[in-house]
Structure 1
Amino acid sequence: MQIFVGSTQVSDITGTRRRMGRNAPTVIIIEHSTLARTTVVKLLERELAGWNVIDLISTESLDSALGAEVRLIVLGLAGRSVESTSLRDDLAAIAARCPEAPVTLLSGTDDAIIARQALKMGIRGFFSTSLPVDIALAGLRLVLAGGTFFPQLLGAGTNGSSEHSPARSEAEKSLDDRTQYLAIADFTPREADVLAELQCGCSNKVIAGKLNLSGHTVKMHLQHIMRKLQAQNRTEVVARLIQRAAGRPDVSPS
């Protein structure tokens, strides 16, 4: 996914035009760079047909989305450190207006240290602009399904230089385990798509129609998902995802 740099003040008008209905599920992109924001919007409009896609240049315009069913917020890191006052202010503004919506960060770097800090802060996904588009979209689907997506942390600290690295706390190790379990490595892009629709309560027939799959293929993906989550049915699948997102790993994946 290539992201370019630029800025303009037309975002609020554009975002309003993309709002198709208050009752439709909504994703909000908050990014100062015009072309970066436009790139993400185009991808999501194509992948999330029937959803509202609202793009804003800053959290100051979040009031325009009040009342919408916000399922996801993509916030541009814009070169800021995770501990910057500006970012914390943005996250506070989001929490005040959309407390139930998972927040993901869009970054120009795939630095594992930044990703780890973001995970500790409760961010549900970390997307660098170097990610392949199909992986990024599958990661967003995974977040929508209740999981977390931090590919930067997979295998971090195991590349042969651990003897010079400071010992990680148990909390950090737990976060790594949780992330590795829920990361896209555990679910194929199509499985992540099915998970997202399952989370919305869609039947197999509806999922097949929305994803342009056969009913048999949907059943096959669900079987693979249930095996990976050690779940017996659709309800348990959703419950397992919620448990993992909350950091309560009570079952080891097969």
Structure 2
Amino acid sequence: MDMLLDGNAYDATGARRRLEPRRVILILTNSGSVSERLIDAIEREFPWIRIEQVEHVSAACATFSHPVALILIDMALMKKAEAASAELLRIHPHALTAVIEPYDKVQVTPLSEVAASPLIRSVLPMDLRLDVWLSIIRLMLCGGEYFPPGSMIRTMLRDQNAILSAHNGAAQVLQGRMTNMAELTARESQILGMVSHGLQNKLIAAECGLSEHTVKIHLHHIIRKLGVHNRTEAAARFRNLHDNGQPMNEN
């Protein structure tokens, strides 16, 4: 168990551990999409996170005890949330917003609609192993976006012509963003998010439990996949994607 002394946290060995700033995950659902078991798992994995659940969009347009880092929205409430997107983004300017993808894939809104949303930046599948699911939560808390890989992304890219006619060319930007996200692994997206926040390799390695050499290898792969020349350009690409019509997402 960690001990708190002089404003710092210490583990059982006496080593000082960096305290994470307290943040809120806001869950907007009236159907119990995220079970109590999953909420307990989040709180165990991220002890600095507090879970707040509301059933109405109006209740989400409020301030909470700590800044909101992540908003999870039930698919059934997506349209109502989008209608209030300006207010949600004003009150929670640093929160990444994800739609909860239910177990029944028949009811899932096409990713083309999700990607064209003024509010939604990611999709949280609910049919994954717990460790994978928590890794996606961690990625989102770091500001990284996530979309299910494989056929769903390919389907969305095939629909780009329909998006172009409906959104005046926005799909071309979207296609590049989604292609990059499909190519980066969850770990690479996490590391790129940290680089964009100005963290050096040593701090990234400590945060992720990796060696600095492993972080350098991940950065090499990121630079290659994005087609940029260095980490500075990769970080700029990440920030530009997040600034494209939305406030910058930060922890």
TM-score, length of structure 2 as denominator length: 0.66
Q: Which runs of 5+ in 2 are unaligned?
A: 1-18, 246-251
1:105-254 equivalence runs, <5 A: 105-108=99-102, 109-110=104-105, 113-122=109-118, 123-133=120-130, 135-144=132-141, 146-151=143-148, 153-156=152-155, 168-170=162-164, 171=169, 173-174=171-172, 177-183=175-181, 185-246=182-243
Residue 9 of structure 2 corresponds to none
Letter in 1 for 2:121: R
Aligned identity (percent) is 25
Q: What do residues 72-113 of structure 1 show as CA deviations (whole Å, max 9, x unaligned)? A: 211222x35x43xx4445645523421332211113144664
Q: How far does residue 156 in structure 1 lie from its aligned partner after superposition?
A: 0.2
Alpha carbons of 1:63 and 1:50: their partners in 2 closer, same or farther (altered >3 Å)? same
CA–CA distance in structure 2, aligned partners of residues 245 and 92 of structure 1: 16
Alpha carbons of 1:182 and 1:50: their partners in 2 closer, same or farther (altered >3 Å)? farther
Alpha carbons of 1:244 and 1:189: their partners in 2 closer, same or farther (altered >3 Å)? same
Q: How far does residue 52 in structure 1 lie from its aligned partner after superposition?
A: 2.4
Pairing 1:95–2:92 present: no
CA–CA distance in structure 2, aligned partners of residues 71 and 166 of structure 1: 30
Alpha carbons of 1:51 and 1:230: their partners in 2 closer, same or farther (altered >3 Å)? farther
Letter in 2 for 1:155: R
Whether the 8 Å contact between 2:25 and 2:51 is mirrored in structure 1 is yes
Q: SS state of the match for residue 155, structure 1?
A: helix
Aligned residues: 216
Q: What do residues 174-228 of structure 1 show as CA deviations (whole Å, max 9, x unaligned)? A: 2651343243x31223223323433443332222222221221112112211222
TM-score, length of structure 1 as denominator length: 0.65
